[in-house]
């Protein structure tokens, strides 16, 4: 099945555009997990497997961020693999690694991620130029999400800069990705921040059929109403990610699992005005 079909199916089955971000920070794990005398990597594994179990009915996708796994040292990739295998097969799995390098290196990144069957998509950084994406564009069952207008304050340093053409760098990226998609069977999508809803229109309208990965709601304060307005005329399927506001919703309580589930359900419901346009 190609990536876009699987994405549409995942959103349709869960009736949700929610993507749960798996960002395991050892300092924020629930007390009920850290109280156990087991090594950190095992704490992360237990924590995330439970998070997956209690959120799965509310989301279409999971986005493990590699930084948090790599910080666990040599155990990190093993834990990443164990967490991946716990994710139900009908969910979209986006490895958030933000890779981007010269082609001979990128080929190895592509191998590292695409060899893992469970990974459907990968985040990529286009700063080194658009040919660096090519090694990732050889598999129709996979998708890439390329940083186009990020959620952080520093998006203004480069991405929101206006060029002499009058376009921002973000718009140039969107236009180039649209061109690339015409020649590729691998799905090309964009990462756009919910915190930038007001500035998103020219970016997403440059590539209206792009699947979107949208972080920035929850702890970063992006407005769902503003996002819903901005997405009104967008054709590509969106996934709206939240990490901390869901997975750490219950870290001080004995029944932390219920708080995590409730937080995911609550965000799924808040996203309903967006989701209902696509299901
Ligand atoms: O590529 C990303 O997912 C990403 C892009 C971006 O512009 N902003 C952004 O926050 N992210 C990631 O999305 C997640 C957001 O986490 P929360 O702020 O806890 O919801 C983190 O894993 C970030 O690395």
pLDDT in tens, 137-152: 999 999 999 999 999 9
Q: What is the pLDDT of residues 73-125, one digit of tens each?
A: 999 999 999 999 999 999 999 999 999 999 999 999 999 999 999 999 999 99
Assign 240 to helix, strand or coil.
strand
Q: Where are the alpha helices (DSSP H) in 18-140?
A: 31-34, 40-55, 66-70, 76-86, 103-114
Asked if residue 69 has pLDDT above 90, the reply is yes
Cα of 215 vs centre of ligand 1, distance in Å, is 5
Kindly state the helix (H) or strand (E) to which residue 9 belongs, with its residue range.
helix 3-14
Cα of 117 vs centre of ligand 1, distance in Å, is 23
Pocket test for ligand 1, best of 21, 68, 212 (most atoms within 8 A of CB): 21
Model ipTM? 0.99
Domain formed by 3-274, architecture: Alpha-Beta Barrel (3.20)
- Is the distance from the beta carbon of residue 20 to the nearest atom of ligand 1 less than 6 Å? no
Active site residue 15: no
- Is the distance from the beta carbon of residue 125 to the nearest atom of ligand 1 less than 6 Å? no
Give the residue from 91, 95, 122 showing the smallest Cα distance to 16: 91
Percent of the chain with pLDDT over 90: 96
Cα of 246 vs centre of ligand 1, distance in Å, is 13
Q: Which of 98, 180, 196, 268 is catalytic?
A: 98
Token reading at 48: 């995330």
CA distance 5 to 111: 23
Contact call for residues 66 and 109 (beta carbons, < 8 A): no
CA distance 186 to 230: 26
CA distance 223 to 151: 12
Looking at residue 226, its pLDDT comes to: 96
Contact call for residues 146 and 114 (beta carbons, < 8 A): no
Mean pLDDT value across the chain? 97
Q: What is the pLDDT of residues 198-232, one digit of tens each?
A: 899 999 999 999 999 999 999 999 999 999 999 99
Percent of the chain with pLDDT over 70: 100
Q: What is the pLDDT of residues 25-48, one digit of tens each?
A: 999 999 999 988 999 999 999 999
Confidence band (pLDDT; 50, 70, 90) for 191? very high
b/e map 253-274, b = 16+ CB within 10 Å: eeebbebbbbbbbebbebbeeb
What's the alpha-carbon Rg for the chain, to the nearest Å?
18
Please identify which residue in the block is written with the tokens 């964009």.
190
């Amino acid at each position: 099945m190609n990536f876009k079909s699987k994405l549409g199916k995942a959103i349709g089955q869960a009736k949700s555009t929610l993507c749960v971000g798996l960002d395991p920070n050892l300092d924020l794990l629930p007390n009920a997990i850290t109280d156990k005398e087991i090594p950190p990597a095992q704490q992360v594994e237990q924590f995330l497997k439970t998070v997956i179990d209690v959120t799965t009915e509310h989301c279409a996708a999971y986005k493990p961020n590699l930084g948090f796994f790599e910080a666990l040292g040599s155990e990190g990739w093993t834990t990443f693999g164990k967490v991946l295998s716990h994710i139900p097969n009908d969910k979209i799995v986006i490895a958030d690694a933000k890779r981007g390098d010269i082609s001979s290196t990128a080929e190895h990144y592509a191998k590292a991620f695409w060899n893992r069957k469970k990974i459907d998509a990968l985040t990529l950084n286009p700063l080194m130029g658009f040919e660096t994406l090519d090694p990732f564009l050889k598999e129709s069952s996979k998708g890439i999400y390329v940083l186009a207008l990020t959620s952080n304050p520093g998006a203004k340093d480069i991405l929101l800069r206006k060029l002499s053409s009058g376009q921002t760098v973000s718009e140039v990226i969107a236009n180039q990705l649209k061109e690339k998609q015409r020649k590729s069977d691998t799905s090309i999508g964009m990462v756009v921040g919910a915190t930038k809803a007001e500035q998103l229109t020219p970016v997403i309208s440059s590539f209206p059929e792009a699947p979107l990965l949208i972080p920035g709601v929850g702890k970063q304060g992006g407005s769902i109403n503003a996002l819903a307005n901005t997405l009104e005329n967008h054709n590509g399927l969106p996934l709206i990610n939240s990490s901390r506001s869901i997975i750490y919703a219950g870290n001080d309580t004995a029944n932390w699992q219920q708080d995590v589930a409730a937080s995911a359900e609550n965000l799924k419901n808040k996203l309903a005005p967006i989701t209902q346009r696509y299901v």
